[in-house]
Amino acid sequence: DQQVKQNSPSLSVQEGRISILNCDYTNSMFDYFLWYKKYPAEGPTFLISISSIKDKNEDGRFTVFLNKSAKHLSLHIVPSQPGDSAVYFCAASGGGADGLTFGKGTHLIIQP
Amino acid sequence: EADIYQTPRYLVIGTGKKITLECSQTMGHDKMYWYQQDPGMELHLIHYSYGVNSTEKGDLSSESTVSRIRTEHFPLTLESARPSHTSQYLCASSVFGLGTYEQYFGPGTRLTVT
């Protein structure tokens, strides 16, 4: 029973355009959400997070939006750059779990 | 520079061997974690620790064991490796407190058991 779902295994976006990565969750007790970026053969790198009491958090080119009623969050990357090509993981904290609960990831490919 | 280290990065080993995966962090974090990830899948928590002499099992059952004798060091041991243990193992650490904090990951160890 997956509690964090990333339904798009891959996403292709042109350089300079907006990349939107989506994530849905089922556990209403999650209180903190994070996005990680992962290159092959490396560990995940923390990108941006959002508390459940907020609906938006921005850091440079990255913005995360949270819709609690829909149990949905999204990561926006504007403008997309070639170095953004990687696997992006959505993760959630809380809900009775001791660590983070991860989705399966979305492979973002930035086309030149 | 504060960081989190894992060795070895890659390990190919035969069935029945004992192995220890090393993890060290220089950030002074109290809480440390081990995750297991298969290709194309989510990361699953297998062990965590709140601090020295604290070890707990995670959500995913694992035959591995861990120890926490020093704050900065959190090794994972498999007494007898099997092909089903083939996976990537990721170590992470975070500040321990009342709030929720980001976890910082090491580069991982890719383990192959033949």
**A14-37 pLDDT tens trace:** 999 999 999 999 999 999 999 999
Sorting pLDDT into bands at 50, 70 and 90, what band is B31? very high
CB of B106 within 8 Å of a chain A CB? The answer is yes
Q: Which residues, including other chains, have CB under 8 Å from residue B56's CB and lie 6 or more apart?
A: A98, B47, B48, B49, B50
Question: Is the model more confident about A66 or about B40?
Answer: A66
Report the residue of chain B nearest A43, measured CA to CA: B107
In this structure, are residues A91 and A33 in contact, taking their beta carbons and an 8 Å threshold?
A: yes
A10 near A107, Cβ under 8 Å? yes
Copy the structure tokens of residue A101: 């609960």
Segment B26-54 shows an average pLDDT of 93
pLDDT averaged over every residue in chain B: 92
Using the Cβ of B94 and the Cβ atoms of chain A, whether some distance falls under 8 Å is answered with no
| Chain B residues within an 8 Å CB radius of A34 | 102-103
**CA atoms of B43 and B60, how far apart (whole Å):** 10
**Are the beta carbons of B102 and A103 separated by less than 8 Å?**
no
**How high is the pLDDT of residue B54?**
94
Tokens of B96: 């321990």
- 3-class SS at A84? helix
